[in-house]
Homo-oligomer: A and B are copies of this chain.
Amino acid sequence: MGTTSKALALLNYFDRAHSLIGLSDLARMSGTNKATCFRLMSELVEHGLAEQLPESRGYRIGPAVLRLAALRDAAVPLRDLALPILQRLAHTTGETAHMSHLVGGKLATLAYAYSAAHAMKVMMEEADVLPFHATSSGFAVLANLPPQIADAILAQPMVAVTKATPTRPEDVRTRLAEMRRVGYGRTADTYEADVASIALPLFDARGACTGAIAVAAPVTRLTPAATAKTLTALIAAARETMAAWGGQLPPELDALWRKIQKA
């Protein structure tokens, strides 16, 4: 293995719970020799990827990562990341795939892709805003937002987009609980009659839910078998998206998704 890899691997031992790590600890955790660990960390410190506190002499993540992150943000528009993933998702599921992004308290369509498998498909609007209470994406996001923010959204008046749209907060809450239990959001006829969709929440690098990825199809095509197949493809796409975002999937959801993928 390359020396550089060993150095970079050291960074993986830092997380929210362990933001400050001493030399000996780090050497033990990583299984590297203390002298080696010291040298590697010194090089990381030299380049600002790590930082050493003067008093405790412990190491933590350095300031240079902020510059790099800003660069990454500037260089990689979310949409460009989303498109190829959605296109693959649309292709493997044979249905319309779309991704939405939480911006300014609204859930906006970021990108979408169609499949050529069927003549009849769910069409999307560019930069459309999705109602939280009437779409699977909305449920997926709402169920993973901090309670006070979710409450604020639920407190707003809810328009019945179709006859099946839930408009009472308690009805929506029931669906959110269900979403949390199974690990994905699912709706049928709530946004448009005869349209069903399945959505997964997406999380950013801070672990906050900031969007959703979904597949929408005519209800008749989303049979139990198709649902299962769609879900596994969705989970793969969601994981891929979050890898590109540097996103942090909550452990509970990770466990639920793993179970689904195994089945």
Contact = CB atoms under 8 A, between A and B. Distances in A.
Interface of A: 2-5, 7-9, 11, 14-16, 19-20, 39-40, 43-44, 46-49, 60-76, 204-207, 243-248
Nearest to A40: B4
Given A4-B4, A19-B74, A19-B75, A69 B60 contact: no
Nearest to A49: B8
A78 to B, nearest CB: 11
28 contacts: A2-B3, A3-B4, A5-B43, A8-B44, A8-B49, A14-B75, A19-B74, A19-B75, A49-B68, A60-B72, A60-B75, A60-B76, A61-B68, A61-B71, A61-B75, A63-B72, A63-B245, A65-B246, A66-B73, A66-B246, A66-B247, A67-B205, A68-B68, A69-B69, A69-B246, A70-B204, A70-B205, A70-B246
A8 B72 contact: no
A7 B46 CA distance: 12
Copies of this chain present: 2
B14 A206 contact: no
Q: From DSSP, what is the main secondary structure of chain A's interface residues?
A: helix
A50 to B, nearest CB: 10
A62 to B, nearest CB: 7
Contacts of A63: 72, 243-246
A62 B76 CA distance: 9
Q: Which of A43, A61, A65, A244 has the largest number of chain B CB atoms within 10 A?
A: A65
A14 B71 contact: yes
Contacts of A47: 5, 8-9, 11
Nearest to A62: B72
